Structures are given as C-alpha cells and as structure tokens.
Chain A
Amino acid sequence: MTTRIDTRFAELKKQGRSAFVTYVMAGDPDLTTSLNIVKALPKAGADVIELGIPFTDPMADGPSIQAAGLRALKAGMTLKKTLGLVRDFRKDDNVTPLVLMGYYNPIYIYGVDKFLADAKSAGVDGLIIVDLPPEEDDELCIPALKAGLNFIRLATPTTDDKRLPAVLANTSGFVYYVSIAGITGAAAADANVVGEAVARIKRHTKLPICVGFGIRTPEAARAIAEKADGSVVGTALVDALKNSLDAEGRATAKTVNAVAELTAALAQGVKGAQQAAE
C-alpha cells in the first residue's frame, strides 16, 4: 500500500528537503472559510496537511486549539462535515497528503468501519488519534491499516527505547515526534535535544520523522527542519487565524490570507534549512 504520504516523503527525500506540515482545525471559524484555508495551504508551501477533528474535550491541546475546536463546533462542524471538507478539497488537489488528527470518541460514535470507508473514499491518507496508544491498537489502528489508511503514532520524550518498538510496530506514513512533554502550543523544545531524540527513533525505524509541538516561527521551523524529516506547525497558524477574526469571532476578508501568509513564511524557513543542510 502506498499512500499520498509515502509518495510525498519519497519525493522530498529525492529533493533532499525536510517536509513542512501544517495543522488547522476543520470548520474553524466556519466550513466555507476553513475549506478555503485548506485549499490555500499547498499553494503557500505546505507539504502535508493535518486537519483537526473538532472535539469538546481535547485533553492534549492548549488554549488556542481548544478554542479553535469550540469555534468550529459552535459553527456547526461535525465529523461528517469534516469528511465532506476533505472530499471538496480533493476535487482540486489529488496529491497533497491529508491527515486527520483528533480524539477517538467522535470516530467511535460515527462507527469505526463506516468512518474508515468514508474517510478513505473522501481522500484521507492517514490518522493521528491522540488518545489511542498501542495498547488500544485493536480499536482503530489495525482496522485503519486494513482499510488502506496510514496510522501515524505519536512518540514523546517519555517513550523510551524499551517502549519504542511497541509504539512503532503498527505505525505507518511517518512518526510524529512530540518534542516536549506537554500540550500543543507550549514552549519550544531545544533543536539539539530534538535532534538527539530523532536520531534515537531513527535507530528503530526507517519511517520519516516529523517533529511538532512548540514550533512557531520560521527560524524555529528551520532549526527543526535541519534535524528531522519534517516540522509541524499548528498553534501559530490557529493563532494567526484567530487574530484575523472580527469581535464576534467571524471570518473577515483577511482570514484566509492571514493563515496563508504565515504558512508561506514558515515554508521559507523550512526550505532555508534544506539549503543550510546541503
């Protein structure tokens, strides 16, 4: 099975460049604006898109992404509409890898088999489900792999060498290294420490390793890009979106551009790293 994720990382490897992975919340601040943002991301330099599934109780997320989820829910977003958003995105873009990221309950309630079939047909490539560790692989991970979707696992600073094989066992697509013990949007990790962690994980897997949590600026993205196969930025983009909203939290004419411009600047940072690395 080769997904758009595998293809994209193979291309980037040929180019000798690290991936730039963007995270935005599906339906934030409303469905139409959100679709336009997602469409704008590849043009602005995103290599991989992570799309958040809104959830009322995002236990691993900081205030920015919590608020983004609540804005989306308030605007009527559901998992079904999230899959619809992906389907609409795929009408114009059949190459950019798209990963859904969120929590298990909405998927469980939607029905695992139905969800996997609908996600695959909508054009989803992979899943990152924060509250499904390898101990719960029977729930979604194994069925997802069978359905032809990548299941991307989070590895963290607390995942030691003894545990890494279990975490990596059913992982595919790429490994998401959470650079700090903490929630999204927290303080940045030191790039050198991250580099050591990436090297450690690479001893256990051939999969690409993307690093997220705490990367906010082009400089930080560049520093991480020099150490890893990809860097993930979420909270900074969500904050840029939020800062473009009007007083009632509605999208303005500036909203799509605000996210696209920051994406472009961050992508430049990542590309700079490639030059520095060469």
Chain B
Amino acid sequence: MTVAKPNSYRSGPDERGHFGIFGGRFVAETLMPLILDLEKAYTAAKADPAFQAEMNGYLKNYVGRPSPLYFAERLTEHLGGAKIYLKREELNHTGSHKVNNVLGQIMLARRMGKKRIIAETGAGQHGVATATLCARFGLECVVYMGAVDVERQQPNVIRMEMLGAKVMPVQSGTRTLKDAMNEALRDWVTNVHNTFYCIGTVAGPHPYPTLVRDFQSIIGNETKAQMQEVEGRLPDSLVACIGGGSNAMGLFHPFLDDPTVEIFGVEAAGHGLTQLHAASIAGGRPGVLHGNRTYLLMDADGQIQDAHSISAGLDYPGIGPEHSWLHEVGRVNYLSATDDEALAAFQLLSKLEGIIPALEPAHAIAKVMELAPKRAKDHLMVVNLSGRGDKDVPQVGDILRGKK
C-alpha cells in the first residue's frame, strides 16, 4: 500500500488531533473536559506575545539556550565519512532536552491556575526537569516512575527528591515507563480539578503530541540557524534516538519540508529485534494506548507487550503518533540499535570527544557509526545529543565490570 504524499509534512495534526490515522483523544470522559481546556489554553498562549517573551527569557537565562552545535572532529576523523555535528542538548540545565518542553508546560499550567503537577518518567530526565521547574515556580510535584527504573536510575531519583518532588515507585505491570504513565493517568483522573499532567514526550491525547513538539522544535530551529552560520547551508542528514520521540521530533520538525535533508530516527532494539526490544515501528503495528493511536508492541489479542531496552528512557512499547505518520508517509527512516551497539557508542563518544552521552542518544551515535562512513566528507550530519550520561555511569560501570 502506498500512502499519498502530503503537500507539507508540517501541517498536522487536524483539528481532532490526527496525523493521518494516528493520534486522537482516546481518554476517559473524566479527562476530556480538561484536555479541551488545555487545547484552548495552549491556543491562546501561542497567540500571546507575552507568553513567548517570558518563555524566551527563561530559555536563555535559566535553561542556558541556545545549546551549541559542536563539530565532533575526532569522531568525524575516526569514522572517516560525513562531517558530524552534535546538537548539545545535554548541556541544558537539568542535563537533557526535556527541560524545553517542561518549561512550556509549566508556564501553561500557571496560566491555567493549576498548583499541582504530575509527571511520568523513564530515565528520570523528564522527572528531574519537571521537579526543577516546580521548585523554581513553587508548585507541588509528584513523579511516577517504574520501580525497575527507580533501581537503575538512582542518581535521578535522588535529584528529584532533593528538588522537593515526591517520587512514586510504580509496582504495577512491567514496572517501567508504560506503567508509570498508567499510574500518572490514574492520578490525573482522581485529582483532575487541581492537577496538570506534564507529559514528557510527543505522545498521549491531543493536544500533547503537538504542544510537546512545538516546545521541542527550538532544537531544530536553532540547528538550522547555527548550521547556516557555520556552513552556510542546510545539513544533509539528521539522526536522533526515539523512545516516545520528543528530542527527535524537536530536531526533525523544522526540517520536514526541506527535501534534501535525510532524516533518521533510531529506536531501541534491546537484545535484538527477534528478542525483547522497544522498537515499536520495527516490531509493532498500529493500536490504541495512552490516549493515542500509534505503533505499539502487542500480541495477537491487542495486549500490550513488555518492552526492553538498556536505556530506561527508550523502554516504552509505543512511539509518538506523528512519528508513526512520518514512518507511513516515508519522510523519516526509522532504524534501530541494540543494547550492545549503544554501549559501544557510549564508550566511543566518551573516549573520542570527552562527552559521556546518556544511553538514549548513545543509540543515535550507534547508527551514526554505521551511516557516517558511507557518506562523503562534505556531507553534514547532525546528531541530537539529547542528554548527558551522568545518570548512567553507575549502571554502565556495573555492566562493563561484569563483562570483564
């Protein structure tokens, strides 16, 4: 089946939140009025220059934007092909791209008069960003985190607690990101009157995939301007890792209508695509979960399957609906990297560039190691270095020592 190519890849979603067949608002009635309110509040905020001005102030002076676009000279030399640039989102305050979106949502929550913020987190990066901004603006913060992730991402748990957030370990289901999101939705249904759900990725019911994308698009917009400044042209390719896919969408979206730019999303292939993994596009099909229709890992009966990735931030059996659509229309190429490939990339980048990446973008680096050598030396490749690896140091240390 061929899917008709749209005139623009940047016009979605429609008024009901659909990207092709993907997206939508599959939530309980209790939440529906609030989701409609959020959509209204977001539309009003977007049209309000004061909202943008206030946000720009915090992005510059609190988050530390713009993040640098750094030429990775030694990695480029080592791979012997494309000229590789790293978009340094790991240098943001809180250590990842997550803060871009959280800032936007917290400012929306304040406009809506909500005093209590809840969030789900996998690796803890979104949780830390949410805890940080709640501390900054004096808001109550509750973060749901799978019990398995609480164990493997201890540094972030401690950070969230120091920032005054309450971390709720989730014992249901597979005790990872999917279950954290279920539990956050249950909290939201229960406390709908005073609570704002700060979703960490480009997923969930409309308008979340759109507003998170918009808040993250600063990554791609900056990249475009920075590349113009240093190279005088557009990049030739973009690479980013994908769990739900917010860092990828933020980098990709401003380039979707630039046909010369090749775009690669990298899912987590875990132990390999024939074993336990978290690659929803490579190994899943369209289904409905967490408020949207999208590619999901599931069995023949429509039961959601356990995902696996070494990286807690990618350990999710779904993907944002706009990615599902970009896959179906063929605008973005979705690849996958295994745990072992990500570990190798983690070590390579640390040793060659003195930058310890988070395990999530290490998946993107792993595919750069394959793609870059096949490209000409004047090919400009941008990788979103979406987070730093401090949180992963204990886990990776254990794995590497165990392997010796």
Report which A residues bind B (CB closer than 8 A). Answer: 54-63, 66, 73, 78-80, 103-110, 130-133, 135-136, 153-160, 163, 167, 178, 181-183, 186
Chain A CB within 8 A of B1 CB: no
Taking the nearest CB of chain B, how far is it from the CB of A192, in angstroms? 19
Q: Is the CB of B33 within 8 A of A57?
A: no
Chain A CB within 8 A of B302 CB: yes
Q: Is the CB of A136 within 8 A of B30?
A: no
Residue from the list B16, B173, B192, B301 in contact with A181, Cβ < 8 A: B192
Taking the nearest CB of chain A, how far is it from the CB of B335, in angstroms? 26
What is the CA–CA distance of A208 and B101 in the complex, to the nearest angstrom?
Answer: 44
Q: Is the CB of B172 within 8 A of A66?
A: yes
Chain A CB within 8 A of B169 CB: no
- Interface size class on chain B is 35 or more
Q: Is the CB of B303 within 8 A of A73?
A: yes
Residue from the list A79, A153, A163 in contact with B301, Cβ < 8 A: A79
Q: Is the CB of B302 within 8 A of A178?
A: no
User: Given the complex, which residues of B lie within 8 Å of A78, measured CB to CB?
Assistant: 301
Q: A56-B304, A106-B302 are in contact. Are A159 and B186 (CB under 8 A)?
A: no
Most-contacted residue by chain B among A56, A136, A153, A183 (CB, 10 A): A56
Q: Is the CB of A59 within 8 A of B290?
A: yes
Most-contacted residue by chain B among A73, A105, A130, A159 (CB, 10 A): A105
Q: Is the CB of B29 within 8 A of A178?
A: yes
Q: Is the CB of B302 within 8 A of A130?
A: no
Q: Is the CB of B186 within 8 A of A57?
A: no
Query: Can you list 21 residue pairs at the A/B interface with Cβ under 8 Å?
Result: A57-B289, A59-B189, A60-B186, A62-B186, A79-B302, A133-B25, A133-B26, A133-B27, A135-B16, A136-B24, A136-B25, A155-B29, A158-B33, A158-B192, A159-B29, A159-B33, A163-B32, A167-B29, A181-B191, A183-B189, A183-B190
What is the CA–CA distance of A39 and B246 in the complex, to the nearest angstrom?
Answer: 49
Chain A CB within 8 A of B291 CB: yes
Chain A CB within 8 A of B75 CB: no
Main secondary structure of the interface of B (DSSP, over half): mixed
Chain A CB within 8 A of B382 CB: no
Most-contacted residue by chain A among B34, B191, B301 (CB, 10 A): B301
Residue from the list B26, B31, B303 in contact with A56, Cβ < 8 A: B303
Residue from the list A63, A108, A135, A186 in contact with B32, Cβ < 8 A: A135
Residue from the list A59, A135, A154 in contact with B182, Cβ < 8 A: A59
What is the CA–CA distance of A207 and B298 in the complex, to the nearest angstrom?
Answer: 37
Chain A CB within 8 A of B193 CB: yes
Main secondary structure of the interface of A (DSSP, over half): loop
What is the CA–CA distance of A16 and B38 in the complex, to the nearest angstrom?
Answer: 43
Chain A CB within 8 A of B287 CB: yes
Q: Is the CB of B178 within 8 A of A158?
A: no
Q: A105-B302, A106-B302 are in contact. Are A133 and B190 (CB under 8 A)?
A: no
User: Given the complex, which residues of B lie within 8 Å of A156, measured CB to CB?
Assistant: 28-30
Chain A CB within 8 A of B185 CB: yes
User: Given the complex, which residues of A lie within 8 Å of B291, measured CB to CB?
Assistant: 131
Chain A CB within 8 A of B234 CB: no
| Residue interface mask B18-53, A partner, CB < 8 A = 1 | 000000111111111110000000000000000000
Q: Is the CB of B301 within 8 A of A106?
A: yes
Q: A57-B289, A60-B186, A108-B287 are in contact. Are A153 and B29 (CB under 8 A)?
A: yes
User: Given the complex, which residues of A lie within 8 Å of B25, measured CB to CB?
Assistant: 133, 135-136
B169-228 interface with A by 8 A CB criterion: 172-173, 178-179, 182, 185-186, 189-193
Q: Is the CB of B32 within 8 A of A105?
A: no
Q: Is the CB of A158 within 8 A of B34?
A: yes
| Residue interface mask B299-310, A partner, CB < 8 A = 1 | 011111000000
Chain A CB within 8 A of B288 CB: yes
Q: Looking across the interface, which residue of chain B has its beta carbon closest to that of A176?
A: B29
User: Given the complex, which residues of B lie within 8 Å of A182, measured CB to CB?
Assistant: 30, 189-190
Q: Is the CB of B26 within 8 A of A104?
A: yes
Q: Is the CB of B28 within 8 A of A60?
A: yes
Q: Is the CB of A178 within 8 A of B16?
A: no
Residue from the list A105, A154, A160 in contact with B287, Cβ < 8 A: A105
User: Given the complex, which residues of B lie within 8 Å of A131, measured CB to CB?
Assistant: 26-28, 288, 291
Q: Is the CB of B303 within 8 A of A59?
A: no
